[in-house]
A and B are shown apart, each in its own frame.
Chain A
């Protein structure tokens, strides 16, 4: 398919062969020379050459600490770091770059909110509302907070298809609710939760909402201002950027009112032994030397995604998911786990008489990378009565041929194990 360009210069169609050429790691042969079929993208995505080059260039020519030096390189590094923040802010529709805080990833973003906003506002007998499909990263920080404060978690159930029970969510919102923390997209099932509606419901009662966007940001167009979410968290490494860098977006008035997370350099305005005043946003939450190269690399990933065109990517991924969903049904005994009407990327499944772990091992031998197990969602697996699933998760560089290879390999797996 030739790529065409619209009047604004954005690519409107999607040429997957050209896109694949941007990702060096995809063109490997593994084991006895089998071509790598990488279908573990919900765990982490591969990186395009532009991201790799950007990080390399930073270390080759621009490396210096940020916001501290009086010298040439420090200015270059600081400018690049600030520019990355502006890129991310524009990418998610944040009103101002100062609302975009660099963290280590989704996990740290959530922990930051729990340790600051949570500690300040959650007290004995209060409640935090979560869904039954949360990743452990969006459960355990709240559990720790509840233990400390004598508060408790209210868990909103999901049905057999992996769809959230919105009525139950509405009922769970009470005068004791201090926060709703919810995944935008489920990493184990691919369900897209109706976060806009959830946010509206919560706000009607004056309750803030944190959205775990770790599995959404790389697939959906996210606009935090339109969503009106209070916090939005995601990881660079799942959106074609480097590991070790992530984002916490927050509403300005909430971030302003929150106490700092960690103490150290950069987050201060003035330190005396009697009293310290804190720096303005976002620096108040970025103590110490940040992951400068990571932030700049993430900026390059954002620019890369913008260049491909978000709509074109979403359209391509949706078609691929439909194709894969259809083709997987051909495998004898295969049952899809997660059949919500609105889904992205994730194909979780079990096969009658086949242990997921065995299937994963044999697929790996055939060059196909999937994940097996509970996917850091043990409560969800308990709810579904499963010890785990096999999960293939798609990214923008996956192809129909790779889905065909997966289906063929699964046929062989079934023959070998039954």
Chain B
């Protein structure tokens, strides 16, 4: 992992934007998204439960948080590969960050990649549901660590 203080959400997001900029054809960008999905470390089957399920997606999505040393680590999975690619994007940018950073992140990179313009309304809702759930986990940890 890079130097911790450089390893911000913004820095990670910028890198993803650069990676996607290498492809000018949208089918290639999708191909890359699918690759990211395929290489996402799998979520253990025992966590693919209702408790970790994200609702509001046409495919099944699970995201499981863990809180260690003041940071939130996410693992996730989906039965659809493109959805899994989106999970992978979010995990790459948000996992291992402090809860405050996750809560304050603007996540403009999704627009910069151009993803939002190329996602269907149902996919956009699904993506929003994932982000919201990840933020909710961060909020809960923040609350817990303050008590």
Once the chains bind, are A365 and B27 in contact (CB under 8 Å)? yes
Contact pick for A358, options B25, B26, B27, B81, CB 8 Å: B81
Once the chains bind, are A361 and B26 in contact (CB under 8 Å)? no
CB distance from B23 to the nearest CB of A (A): 12
Kindly identify, within residues 235 to 280 of chain A, every residue whose CB is under 8 Å from any CB belonging to chain B. Answer: none
Q: Does B97 contact A (CB under 8 A)?
A: no
Once the chains bind, are A357 and B59 in contact (CB under 8 Å)? yes
A31 to B25, CA, bound (A): 10
Q: Does A317 contact B (CB under 8 A)?
A: no
A32 to B26, CA, bound (A): 8
For residue A31, which residue of chain B has the nearest CB? B26
Contact pick for A361, options B25, B31, B79, B82, CB 8 Å: B82
Once the chains bind, are A357 and B58 in contact (CB under 8 Å)? yes
Once the chains bind, are B120 and A358 in contact (CB under 8 Å)? no
A373 to B27, CA, bound (A): 22
Q: What 1/0 mask marks residues of chain B from 104 to 125 whose CB sits below 8 Å from any chain A CB? A: 0000000000000010100100
Known A31-B118, A417-B34; contact A357-B27, beta-carbon cutoff 8 A? no
Kindly identify, within residues 303 to 362 of chain A, every residue whose CB is under 8 Å from any CB belonging to chain B. Answer: 355, 357-358, 360-362
Q: Which residues of A contact B120 (CB under 8 A)?
A: 360-361, 364
Q: List 19 A-B contacts (CB under 8 A).
A: A31-B26, A355-B59, A357-B58, A357-B80, A357-B82, A358-B34, A358-B80, A358-B81, A358-B83, A361-B30, A362-B82, A365-B27, A365-B30, A365-B118, A372-B58, A373-B58, A388-B58, A412-B27, A416-B30
Q: Which residues of A contact B82 (CB under 8 A)?
A: 357-358, 361-362
Q: Which residues of A contact B25 (CB under 8 A)?
A: 32
A357 to B78, CA, bound (A): 11
Q: Which residues of A contact B81 (CB under 8 A)?
A: 355, 358, 417
Known A361-B120, A365-B118; contact A355-B30, beta-carbon cutoff 8 A? no
For residue A364, which residue of chain B has the nearest CB? B120
CB distance from A312 to the nearest CB of B (A): 35
Once the chains bind, are A365 and B26 in contact (CB under 8 Å)? yes
Once the chains bind, are B58 and A362 in contact (CB under 8 Å)? no
CB distance from B33 to the nearest CB of A (A): 10
Kindly identify, within residues 1 to 52 of chain B, every residue whose CB is under 8 Å from any CB belonging to chain A. Answer: 25-27, 30-31, 34
A373 to B26, CA, bound (A): 23
Interface of chain A, helix or strand or loop or mixed? helix
A373 to B30, CA, bound (A): 20
Chain B residues in the interface with A (C-beta under 8 A): 25-27, 30-31, 34, 58-59, 79-83, 118, 120, 123
For residue B38, which residue of chain A has the nearest CB? A417
Top 9 A-B pairs, shortest CB-CB distance: A355-B80, A357-B80, A357-B58, A358-B82, A357-B59, A358-B80, A358-B81, A361-B82, A365-B26
Q: Does A132 contact B (CB under 8 A)?
A: no
Q: Does A366 contact B (CB under 8 A)?
A: yes
Q: Which residues of B contact A364 (CB under 8 A)?
A: 120
CB distance from B44 to the nearest CB of A (A): 21
Q: Which residues of A contact B59 (CB under 8 A)?
A: 355, 357-358
Interface contacts beyond A355-B83, A366-B27: sample of 12 additional A-B pairs, CB < 8 Å, sorted by A: A31-B26, A355-B80, A357-B82, A357-B83, A358-B81, A360-B120, A361-B120, A361-B123, A362-B30, A365-B26, A416-B30, A416-B34
CB distance from B140 to the nearest CB of A (A): 29
Once the chains bind, are B27 and A362 in contact (CB under 8 Å)? yes
A372 to B58, CA, bound (A): 9
CB distance from A72 to the nearest CB of B (A): 44
Kindly identify, within residues 19 to 34 of chain A, every residue whose CB is under 8 Å from any CB belonging to chain B. Answer: 31-32
For residue A360, which residue of chain B has the nearest CB? B120
Kindly identify, within residues 204 to 255 of chain A, every residue whose CB is under 8 Å from any CB belonging to chain B. Answer: none
A366 to B26, CA, bound (A): 9
A366 to B59, CA, bound (A): 21
A417 to B83, CA, bound (A): 12
A362 to B81, CA, bound (A): 11
A194 to B74, CA, bound (A): 53
Kindly identify, within residues 24 to 59 of chain A, every residue whose CB is under 8 Å from any CB belonging to chain B. Answer: 31-32
CB distance from B26 to the nearest CB of A (A): 5
Which of A31, A357, A365, A388 has most B Cβ within 10 Å? A357
A279 to B25, CA, bound (A): 61
CB distance from A374 to the nearest CB of B (A): 9
For residue A353, which residue of chain B has the nearest CB? B81
A165 to B79, CA, bound (A): 33
Q: What 1/0 mask marks residues of chain A from 387 to 416 whose CB sits below 8 Å from any chain B CB? A: 010000000000000000000000010001
